[in-house]
Amino acid sequence: MVKLRDYKALKGIIMKKYLKITAYGVLTWLIPFVVSFFFYDKNGNCLIDIDLFKSIMIVVSALAGCGLLVIFFRKTKGAYLQTGIAIGVIWLLINLILDALILLPMSKMPIDTYIMQIGVRYLNIPIICIMAGALLETKKA
């Protein structure tokens, strides 16, 4: 029979895991956001070709996300695929929500333009996280 203290300990472990996933998810958004400031002047004008800027942001985002994913999975033991799915969904939602709260009002970008230029690219987040989890799942056997 499961004792109450065992349940509380398990709940604490789960909460800590999801708090860490959430914190890392915020970093996946914050790191590229901060880096982007180096490419804009005080008037909000991009200092380099906009297509080059977008390419740099994709690379910075991939590096930040994959790096954080590696760090997270190093301390994960089992349930890799389920964890990859959870990370992918949570990080996707965090990035979309932070964009809606901060980037969209700041850039005054219409939602349809945002979806076409940025939002669709965020689908890479769950794809990479799920694939990493699937890969680790096959390696544990």
User: What is d(CA 91, CA 85) in angstroms, rounded to the nearest whole number?
Assistant: 10
Model confidence at 139, pLDDT cuts 50, 70, 90, reads: confident
Got the DSSP string for 61-99? HHHHHHHHHHHHHHT--S-HHHHHHHHHHHHHHHHHHHI
Residue 14: band (very low, low, confident or very high) from pLDDT cuts 50, 70, 90: confident
Tokens 């760090």, residue?
71
The chain-wide mean pLDDT, for the chain, equals: 91
pLDDT in tens, 40-78: 999 989 999 999 999 999 999 999 999 999 999 998 988
The pTM is what? 0.87
Strand-pair partners of 40: 46
CB 24 within 8 A of CB 72: yes
**Where in the chain are the domains?**
4-139
Which tens digits make up the pLDDT trace of 24-42?
999 999 999 999 999 999 9
Coil, strand or helix at 40: strand
